Structure 1
Amino acid sequence: MDRYLTVAEVSAAARRLVSRYPGAGRLRRVGTSRAGRPLEMLSVGHGPAHVLAVARPHPDEPVGAVTALALAERLAAGDGPRSEATDPARVTWDFVLCLDPDGAALSEGIEEATAGPAPALERYFRTAFRPVAAEQPEWAPIESSDLPESRALFDLIDERRPVLQCSLHGIEAGGTFAQLTDDLPGFALPFHTAAAALSVPVQHGTFDALYWENPAPGVHVLPPPESTGRLAAGSEHIGRSTWCAPQRHGGVTAIVEVPMWAGALADDTSPHPDAVRALRGLSRLVRDGGEQVTAVLDKARGFLPPPEESAPRRVLEWMAGGLYDLVAESWQPLAQQAAEGGGRLTTAQVCALDVVARRQPLRAAGLLLRLLSESDDPAAPALHDELYALFTAWCEDFTRALGLRRVPVHDQADLQARTALAAAECAVR
């Protein structure tokens, strides 16, 4: 079946795996979420070196759990060629099956919405939920937010002292890429080979690591701690995140991103014909979309659940409170640099920013449509219809403008597994 798995399905599959391979796999609870849900870890192998893989760090990115189960099955069964990283006597693989089960509960339905041969962006954004930054377990420490999920992961990192942590992410659209907290020599070639074998483009340039070191296409390495000017707005304290925690034990983190929809221009390295105009247009796009969603939100605030009782409402207020402007303004240095002749941006780089400009209003619109659908206020249906017309037009334009095609879930997971194995081989060596 080509679909993502629910948290319950992942947990049940992990239990079956442990039963099928007694002695090879162990499952234990390693923490408890804010709402009391279990954080579970599946371990395979008995080696002294540890690789820690973290699935579903964002609830709207469910591919990592499929990847984790596929990798665990391979390792427990001893399938495939044996290597240093897959030798159970040398390496123990620890899989956190879902880092944010509370957020996943608010993305309930995303599995069916994205199933089938040709799911649409519209169905994805209607069911996807991503919390505010202070409620994202990997990112919350940067915001000085103390979450039990973050503490559980920090404790695991200190207990296992992993040579590699793989954070298994997914992006809505574009190409595949990896962000590393330290360089992993030799990683780029097998990563590129895996992407080519599965016909997934490598993202040349990315919105997540605009100014990081870029030793190879799609590979980005965190700049030195003192290089705060090269970090995205809001990430100046990235050293506090769970990503950087393995460094205190000599380990590396690889954030592995695979796309749900591949973009036709994600690997187009030709110079963009008019990057300055394009960036200004994208800034307007994210601001205009945000303003249109916020205008509907303004009309609905009186009957929506209050932010303290509703995680989706908190996200909407966070985004309306300045996130759209923050995103748009973050690209001004690039536009200025291009205008002054300081280097030409490629088509792929501009298209990576295009993804962000389009997805921010869509995330907000999907959440607000959900709240309006659940409301019994007489004004809700008309506001829903008003916003839904914008929402569907934005989804259609997103798909058309970026030439999107669906990447099957099994290909997403296969690419992510191969990338994690490639990173592990380098880290273990």
Structure 2
Amino acid sequence: MDRYLTVAEVSAAARRLVSRYPGAGRLRRVGTSRAGRPLEMLSVGHGPAHVLVVARPHPDEPVGAVTALALAERVARGDGHTPAADPARATWNFVLCLDPDGSALSEGIEAATAGPAPSLERYFRTAFRPVAAEQPEWAPIESSRLPESQTLFDLIDELRPVLQCSLHGIEAGGTFAQLTDDLPGFATPFHTAAADLSVPVQHGTFDALYWENPAPGVHVLPPPESTGRLAAGSEHIGRSTWCAPQRYGGVTAIVEAPMWASALADAPSPHPDAVRALRGLSRLVRDGGEQVTAVLDKARGFLPPPEESAPRRVLEWMAGGLYDLVADSWQPLARQAAEGAERLTTAQVCALDVVARRQPLRAAGLLLRLLTDSPDPSAPALHAELHGLFRGWCEDFTRALALHWVPVHIQAELQTRTVLAAAGCAVRGGR
């Protein structure tokens, strides 16, 4: 499979799998989205230990659904090559799409990224990422109650999984995993999988700069009292669906596979001028945000109102302070680097570079979509103005990090092997 699958294609593939393995696989509706779309779960095996795999928690990260189907097939066939994949020892449960409403707004991402060399431009023109309060895994942190979040909480209470795997896909960089608790023995098979598939491991990541880092690309959530080591906005991470399995002794692994890889992600050498780089990245995200917001200001009068448009809500959320929040979050790092207290690596700066560039691109892609759909006579000129910036940013992103596309089947195989490694550690450890 060398393209992502739509939600409908994933559901149909799950039904075919159940037909091919009668008695081994079950498909059931476990919930309903805000817009009335079904939340489906495919279960394979009958063992006492439960593994819960969550696909497409973010609608702009579609690889997890391909991974979930590949994992289900391996477990059903009995060729997972680990005791955790033995259907007599473990039951595997796959939530096929946690955010079908958001995925409907990313419709077209599958076609846009098909082929041997997709471009960032086509990707960001079709990708949609909701505001934090509308992301099912993250909404509880924002004190937002979503039926998708509640469905996942209910499943965790029902299954009491030894392991929950949340399947994510980062736009650029390398692969990494975030764990809510340590999984001894996990790092070696994770690194082996990445090496076998020629995918760089991300040494340091923007999401977990101050987490425990027992091995390259492996990050473990710090203790609950260590809120100062969390990224801005994640101080209440204990409320998230990620941490819910801890109530039953389980652990969650957030598995990231890059769409576009960069060798800089795997460069642990000290950065030659981290202070200057961080200051430049802060300017990059602020300037890009200001330029998108300037176009948004001119278009607000004829765009659909936020209460009627999820893309518009994202644009207002970002314009309301998100760019500054991101840029400001790096100032302590810059100060520490200037004082010699922190020596940042090339890989860590690469991770922050990805964030700085993608924030304005996410907003520009959404605003271009709204301008394309608008009948207002001033929309074409604003579209042309913004598209010139957007295209240049995509080209700069690709060139600055020397990005190259990771085929979908490699992304999915990397996640599959990473999940099997984590499950092996969790089941073997008797969690």
Q: TM-score, normalised by structure 2?
A: 0.99
1:419 is matched with 418
Matches of 2:85 and 2:275 in 1, distance apart?
Answer: 47
Deviations 1:326-368 (A, max 9, x none): 0000000100000001021000000100000000000000000
Question: Secondary structure of 1:296's partner?
Answer: helix
Residue type at the aligned position of 2:71: L
Equivalent residue number for residue 334 of structure 1: 333
Who is 1:137 aligned against? Answer: 136
Deviation at 1:84, TM superposition (A): 1.6
Q: 1:392-403 maps to which residues of 2 (within 5 A)?
A: 392-403=391-402
Partner of 2:31: 31
Q: Which amino acid aligns with 1:58?
A: H
Q: Name the SS of the counterpart of 1:93 in structure 2.
A: strand
Aligned to 1:202: 201
Q: Unpaired runs of 5+ in structure 2?
A: none
Aligned length: 428
- 2:198 is paired with a residue whose SS is coil
In the TM superposition, residue 130 of structure 1 has moved relative to its aligned partner by 0.2
Corresponding residue for 1:229?
228
What does the per-residue CA deviation read over 1:91-128, in whole Å, with 9 as the maximum and x for residues that have no partner?
A: 00000000000000000000000000001000000000
Secondary structure at the aligned position of 1:85 is classed as helix
Q: Structure 1 residue 284 and structure 2 residue 263: aligned?
A: no
Deviations along 1:29-76, one digit per CA (max 9) or x if unpaired, are: 000000000000000000010000000000000000000000001111
**Contiguous gaps of at least 5 residues in structure 1:** none
TM (normalized to structure 1)?
0.99
CA distance in 2, matches of 1:141, 1:187: 28
CA distance in 2: counterparts of 1:132 and 1:47, whole angstroms: 38
Shift of 1:77: 1.4
Q: What is the distance in 2 between the residues matched to 1:163 and 1:329?
A: 37
Which piece of structure 1 moves more, 305-314 or 336-345? 336-345
User: 2 CA distance for matches of 1:87 and 1:364?
Assistant: 44
The alignment partner of 2:288 has SS state of helix
Counterpart Cα distance in 2 of 1:24 and 1:397: 49
Q: Which residue of 2 aligns with 1:63?
A: 63
Q: What one-letter code is carried by the residue in structure 2 that aligns with 1:75?
A: V
Q: What does residue 4 of structure 1 align with?
A: 4
Report 1:112-191 matches (<5 A): 112-191=111-190
RMSD of aligned Cα (Å)? 0.5
- Partner of 1:266, secondary structure, is helix
Shift of 1:79: 2.5
2:181–2:220 CA contact under 8 A, matched in 1:
yes
- Displacement of 1:80 in angstroms is 4.6
Spell out, residue by residue over 1:269-315, the C-alpha distance to the aligned partner (whole angstroms, 9 max, x if none). Answer: 11101000000000000000000000000000000000000000000
Q: Deviations over 1:406-426 (max 9, x none)?
A: 000000000000000000000
Amino acid at match of 1:224: P
Report the equivalent of 2:42.
Answer: 42
**Partner secondary structure for residue 265 of structure 2:** coil
Partner secondary structure for residue 292 of structure 1 = helix
Task: Measure, in 1, the Cα distance between the counterparts of 2:241 and 2:114.
Answer: 31
Runs of 4+ in 1 over 4 A off after TM superposition: none
Q: Which residue of 2 aligns with 1:305?
A: 304
Instruction: Name the CA distance, whole Å, in 2 between partners of 1:203 and 1:322.
Output: 28
Deviations 1:223-242 (A, max 9, x none): 00000000000000000000
Name the residue aligned to 1:271. Answer: 270
Specify the SS of the correspondent of 1:75.
helix
- 1:359 is paired with a residue whose SS is helix
- What is the SS of the residue equivalent to 1:172? strand
Deviations 1:132-164 (A, max 9, x none): 000000000000000000000000000000000
Secondary structure of the 1:265 match is helix
Q: CA deviation at 1:264?
A: 2.0
Identity %: 90
What CA distance in whole angstroms lies between the structure 2 residues aligned with 1:406 and 1:370?
24
Q: Which amino acid aligns with 1:375?
A: S
Contact 2:31 2:38 in 1 (8 A): yes
CA distance in 1, matches of 2:64, 2:117: 20
What secondary structure does 1:297 align onto? helix
Answer whether contact 2:183 2:426 (CA < 8 A) is retained: yes
Aligned-partner residue type, residue 39 of structure 2: L
